[in-house]
Structure 1
Amino acid sequence: MSDVITLTGLTARGRHGVYEFEREQGQDFVVDVVLALDLAPAATSDDVADTVHYGELADRLVEIIEGDPVNLIETLAGRLADACLADPRVGTATVTVHKPQAPIAHAFTDVAVTLTRGRPA
Structure 2
Amino acid sequence: MTARDEIVLTGLRAMGYHGVLPHERAEGQLFLVDVVLHLDLSPAAAGDDLGATVHYGELANRIVKAVESDPVDLIETVAERVAALVLGHPPVESVEVTVHKPNAPIEVPFADVAVTVRRSRG
Give yes or no for TM over 0.5: yes
Taking the aligned partners of 2:7 and 2:74, their CA distance within structure 1 comes to 26
Taking the aligned partners of 1:95 and 1:43, their CA distance within structure 2 comes to 24
For residue 77 of structure 2, what is the aligned residue in structure 1?
Answer: 75
The number of residue pairs the alignment matches comes to 120
For residue 94 of structure 1, what is the aligned residue in structure 2?
Answer: 96
SS state at 1:75 partner: helix
Taking the aligned partners of 2:4 and 2:121, their CA distance within structure 1 comes to 16
The residue type paired with residue 68 of structure 1 is D
The residue type paired with residue 102 of structure 1 is A
Q: How far did 1:88 drift?
A: 1.3
Please report the RMSD computed on the Cα atoms of aligned residues, expressed in angstroms. Answer: 0.6
Question: After TM superposition, what 4+ stretches of structure 1 lie above 3 angstroms from structure 2?
Answer: none
Taking the aligned partners of 1:45 and 1:99, their CA distance within structure 2 comes to 39
Structure 1, unmatched stretches of 5+, are none
The residue type paired with residue 64 of structure 2 is V
Taking the aligned partners of 1:20 and 1:65, their CA distance within structure 2 comes to 18
Taking the aligned partners of 1:57 and 1:80, their CA distance within structure 2 comes to 10
Q: Deviations over 1:93-120 (max 9, x none)?
A: 1000000000000110000000100011
The residue type paired with residue 105 of structure 1 is E
SS state at 2:84 partner: helix
Percent identity between matched residues is 58
For residue 85 of structure 1, what is the aligned residue in structure 2?
Answer: 87
